[in-house]
Structure 1
Amino acid sequence: MSRIGIFGGSFDPVHNTHLALAAAALQHLRLDELRWVPTGHPWHKASKPADAAHRVAMLKLALAGEPRYTIDELELHRSGPSYTIDTVRWLQASQPELPGQHNEWFLVIGQDQYEKFNTWHGWRELLDRLTLAVANRAGAAPQAPPALQAVPHRVEVVPLPPSDMAATDIRSRLAQGLPIDMLVPPQVARYIAQNALYRK
């Protein structure tokens, strides 16, 4: 049996809190593999992310050296909105299982996503297909919304040091010409500077 995590997001850009959560998930969930899935067209976001090629390039730089990390670009090549349920169906169908063995799947999400998980497309099927791995960033136990509390589901809490970092803040700092060296890996900061990303 393989233990496989799925970590989706715009990664616009990938930053240190993303990496801290991924490392915590590897350790706490004892994952054999963590699939990073950059989104194509997030259905819940009005703004358009940076070009996919740049986001993937930054991910490759940030994830180098950890063999359990893989990048799956399927959402970047899918037309229309990116729904997690479609991604999970495809990933599970494409992952071979040996006779008598069953892969265990985890969806790595933040507390804010867990609190509104019942608004996700196909959320009930997602609960049937995998375990939710919820980042515990504030030190308090993640709280499910009432609709989710009424539905049996599997949850693993992933301990994570408190952090207020968000990609929107990093993009705002870059637009103002402020440094981001402590917020992203050095190789990602260099890539952003070399390609003049997120400037006004």
Structure 2
Amino acid sequence: MSDLYALFGGTFDPIHYGHLRPVTALAQQVGLQKVTLLPNNVPPHRPQPEASAQQRVAMLRCAIADRPLFDIDTRELTRTTPSWTVDTLETLRAERGAQQPLGFIIGQDSLLTLGKWHRWQELLSLCHLLVCQRPGYATQMATPEMQQWLDAHRAHEVQQLHRAPAGHIWLADTPLFDISATEIRQRRHHGQDCADLLSGGGDRLHRSRGLISRLIAACYTAPLHFWLRFPGHSACP
């Protein structure tokens, strides 16, 4: 059986260390060799992104440069229909085969509202759900029925995720960061610096925070495609 392969979807509008550091911790816990970032095109359950698809991909590339754990899959950006997770997982399952262990990374906030997702009952037939903690959210599901569903599928040993291609839920012990992309966008709209929300420790976002902060400023204040002329953009492959 192949190594557990995981995807992490989101609008990434913009990417920040509250995205990357918990997922890095999750990867260490469950033995992930690769995490694929999956930027959404038309997210069904939230407002549409302010930055364009090209701008968001540019910020992703800058953020994960020199971070070999991560790569990017842009397939959802070519859609004209909503980015339903179950549709993407069906495509990936067909590509990778029935026996490939496949994980989809979500936050605790998404787990609590999973019952509102399109065809949510089919998700565990396609993947494992790998759940990162989020500050300020409940640890119990909203209804007894959903809690029973969670308890029935919860994995308590990492090897369960590697032995089966799908069907388990892993509640990860990940660091908590009280940070949101909304706060970053609001700061940029008010002309405030957001470098402190884009850095953490000695990682790539810290080393390039000046570049990525200016790139984000361009994305949210300049005309569309201005980022293509952004000084230093070539440093982010």
Mark yes or no: TM-score above 0.5: yes
The alignment's TM-score, normalised by the length of structure 2, stands at: 0.75
Contact residue 10 and residue 49 of structure 1 kept, 8 A = no
RMSD: 2.1
**What SS is found at the alignment partner of 2:197?**
coil
* Counterpart Cα distance in 2 of 1:87 and 1:96: 14
1:147-166 aligned at under 5 Å gives the runs: 147-151=145-149, 152-153=152-153, 154-166=168-180
1:75 maps to what in 2?
76
* Counterpart Cα distance in 1 of 2:34 and 2:139: 24
In the TM superposition, what is the alpha-carbon distance from 1:197 to its structure 2 partner?
A: 2.2
* Counterpart Cα distance in 2 of 1:64 and 1:155: 30
Contact residue 117 and residue 148 of structure 1 kept, 8 A = no
**What SS is found at the alignment partner of 2:102?**
strand
Q: Which runs of 4+ in 1 moved over 3 A?
A: 46-49, 137-142
1:2 aligns with 2:3: yes
1:188 aligns with 2:212: yes
Match of 1:119 among 110, 116, 120: 116
| Runs (5+) with no aligned partner, structure 1 | none
1:110 maps to what in 2?
107
Instruction: Indicate the percent of aligned positions where both proteins have the same amino acid.
Output: 36
Deviations 1:49-81 (A, max 9, x none): 310001001101111112231101011001111
Pick closer, same or farther for the CA change 1:139–1:175 going to 2, 3 Å. closer
In the TM superposition, what is the alpha-carbon distance from 1:139 to its structure 2 partner?
A: 9.0
Deviations 1:148-174 (A, max 9, x none): 334343221222222220000100000
1:8-47 aligned at under 5 Å gives the runs: 8-47=9-48
More strand, by proportion: 1
* Counterpart Cα distance in 1 of 2:51 and 2:136: 32
| Runs (5+) with no aligned partner, structure 2 | 154-167, 199-204, 223-237
2:156 maps to what in 1?
none
**What SS is found at the alignment partner of 2:130?**
strand
